[in-house]
Amino acid sequence: MGEKSFKKGFLWGGATAANQIEGAYNEGGRGLANTDFLKYVAPNERRADEATFEQTYASLQEAKAHEDTYIFPKRWGNDFYHHYKEDIALMAEMGFSVFRMSISWSRIFPTGFEEKPNEEGLAFYDKVFDECHKYGIEPLVTMLHYDFPLAVCEKLNGFESRETIALFEKYVRTIVERYHKKVKYWLTFNEINMSLQSLSTCSGAMRDHSLKGLDEEQLTFEVVHNMLLASAKAVILVHEIAPEALAGNMVWKHVYYPKTVRPEDTLQQIFDMNLNYYFYDIQCKGVVPYYLDRYFEQKNIKRNYSPEDIETLKKGKADFLSFSYYMSNISEYQGEPMKFTGLLPDQSRNNPYLKMTDWGWSIDPVGLRIALNQLYTRYGLPIFIAEFGIGMYESMDSNHQIHDQGRIEFVEAHLKQIKEAIKDGVDVFGVTYWGWIDLVSSTTSEMTKRYGFVYVDADDYGKGTYNRYKKDSFYWYKHVIETNGSEI
């Protein structure tokens, strides 16, 4: 068997999300989105005991009451809406063959409830896709990456309601019909499993505003079930409307190591991994697995799948699998009944063998090889790595140069492990580095948590020129693509 490496035609690119780049929140007929109310929380105001995600999400009422004083950076993003031509040219210069982006639902249906879509919103994405194709860049489009029309959140509490599934289907039908000649790769929901960690951001449901008066855990699994159904329906729609296109899922991949060789810690690891596999099993195999039943019973969480739902899930299986990977976690047995480590605040990232980013995320390239092997062994589907990346504090020198050697080392270490996984026999067909251009952070709404190969001159408060500058990593990644990773 010859040396295996990145295959010919391997898709190299970068990833983004509408709410973190577009800005122009009140232009082009776009309606308000929940993400327009995610406030900036300064580092010294963050609490360690709660996911940062949740801290940026004041209640909508509170956010509205403080609209004049709170900072809502996702309203301006990195201003892609006005810079898209320049940004796509930069991607082309780096040699991207794929650009992962998402469509803003409220640009297409401003409240979610309209019968007719907003033509100006549709036309914007036409322009973006056309610009990509001009350079031979394939758009890989996430249908929903955390931004919901505000009215869907306020009236239906996001995916708590099954009515939201129907509204989402209408939106999916509209975009797939409109763009089926321009988009070959679709992803349904970004990180569908993150609802377990941040309900409001990922599912549009506010935890203390349940329409049916559900407690937080019941509400969480209610929205999870509805989102899994909506995802399956979206896959079915893609298959019907655009049989030549491929529809994938997208899950935050948790990699867990048992804290010690104590057998119970491995039990905990299996338990933790199952909560992650739950999403892949439903989306990739089309079956609802048994292994959460005991947990549901202990927590008195009711399941709500009807026989029709089970059929939908069976039919709406993903064509390929995608995931995001940022760090690994540690599983430590906590006694019975078992609790999921992944649902506890960040204490599980403290691995003495690994370094951490400035935001306390463990840096674990080998974990990426593990993730790829775990997923390919279990599902055998072609894999697209939709996100990996590193957030760093950085600044420009007086010559507009940004020396981000740390990012180069991080990316190189991860690409090496992808290559190892390919040698292990895993079928990886593409990768999009997260935040190829600086953008607003999802969890903290900071601009200063910079991921990009391209620097955007803007601060946390929206001040700056928004000019783009190439960092050292820009040239390095360009070379990686030119050589199809052969020198990695």
Residues that bind ligand BG6 (CB under 6 A): 17, 20, 190-191, 252, 324, 387, 391, 434, 441-444, 449
How many Å apart are CA 242 and CA 290, to the nearest integer? 33
Give exposure, 2-32, as e/b (b: 16+ Cβ within 10 Å). eeeebeeebbbbbbbbbbbbbbbbeebbbbb
Q: Are the C-beta atoms of residues 404 and 378 closer than 8 Å to each other? A: no
What is the β-pairing status of strands 138-144 and 98-102? parallel
From 138, 154, 160, 191, active-site residue? 191
How many Å apart are CA 22 and CA 426, to the nearest integer? 34
From 138, 160, 387, 446, active-site residue? 387
- In whole angstroms, the minimum distance from the beta carbon of 466 to ligand BG6 comes to 19
- In whole angstroms, the minimum distance from the beta carbon of 389 to ligand BG6 comes to 7
| C-beta of 122 vs 383, nearer to ligand BG6 | 383
| C-beta of 15 vs 152, nearer to ligand BG6 | 15
Question: Which pair of structure tokens corresponds to residue 336?
Answer: 């019975």
- In whole angstroms, the minimum distance from the beta carbon of 317 to ligand BG6 comes to 22
Q: Is 387 a catalytic residue?
A: yes
| C-beta of 16 vs 118, nearer to ligand BG6 | 16
- In whole angstroms, the minimum distance from the beta carbon of 189 to ligand BG6 comes to 10
| C-beta of 118 vs 473, nearer to ligand BG6 | 473
| C-beta of 295 vs 359, nearer to ligand BG6 | 359
| C-beta of 59 vs 448, nearer to ligand BG6 | 448
- In whole angstroms, the minimum distance from the beta carbon of 357 to ligand BG6 comes to 9
Q: Which residue is nearest to ligand BG6 (CB)?
A: 443
How many Å apart are CA 289 and CA 444, to the nearest integer? 34
- In whole angstroms, the minimum distance from the beta carbon of 308 to ligand BG6 comes to 31
- In whole angstroms, the minimum distance from the beta carbon of 105 to ligand BG6 comes to 15
Class of residue 76 by CB neighbours under 10 A (exposed 0-12, middle 13-18, buried 19+): buried
- In whole angstroms, the minimum distance from the beta carbon of 260 to ligand BG6 comes to 29
**CA terminus-to-terminus distance, the chain:** 20
| C-beta of 191 vs 309, nearer to ligand BG6 | 191
Q: Is 217 a catalytic residue?
A: no
Class of residue 244 by CB neighbours under 10 A (exposed 0-12, middle 13-18, buried 19+): exposed
Cα R_g (the chain), whole angstroms: 21
| C-beta of 218 vs 324, nearer to ligand BG6 | 324
Q: Which residues are catalytic, by number?
A: 191, 387
